[in-house]
Amino acid sequence: MLVYRFLDHDAFLFGFVVPVVALLLYDIVLLVRSAVVARFTISMQVSRRAREKMRRKRHLQLFLFIKVTILIGTVAGLGVFAKLTGITTTLR
């Protein structure tokens, strides 16, 4: 009986795992850069009210960016874990 496998081990690693890890690392670099830019931008505001308003906005943007990065990383990590360990059954 011929069993069709979607991706073998090497193709999965080089076709999915390596690009996902590279993109997540680049995402972290962009996160750090945006945090630094936000800090400098906030510090250049003249009035205290504008500074506080911008600080709230930038923190919200950064935290949403962090949440999306964590979500994508978790989904990709669990997918890699399931594929490499062979645990692909569903609950019945």
Question: Considering the domain boundaries, does residue 19 fall inside one?
Answer: no
Question: Considering the domain boundaries, does residue 71 fall inside one?
Answer: yes
Question: Considering the domain boundaries, does residue 89 fall inside one?
Answer: no
What pTM, to 2 d.p., does this model score? 0.73
Domain of residue 49 covers 45-77
State the pLDDT confidence band at 2, using cuts at 50, 70 and 90.
very low
- Domains of the chain: total: 1
DSSP state at residue 17: I
Residue 63 has pLDDT above 90, yes or no: yes
For residue 82, the number of C-alpha atoms closer than 13 Å in the C-beta half-sphere is 9
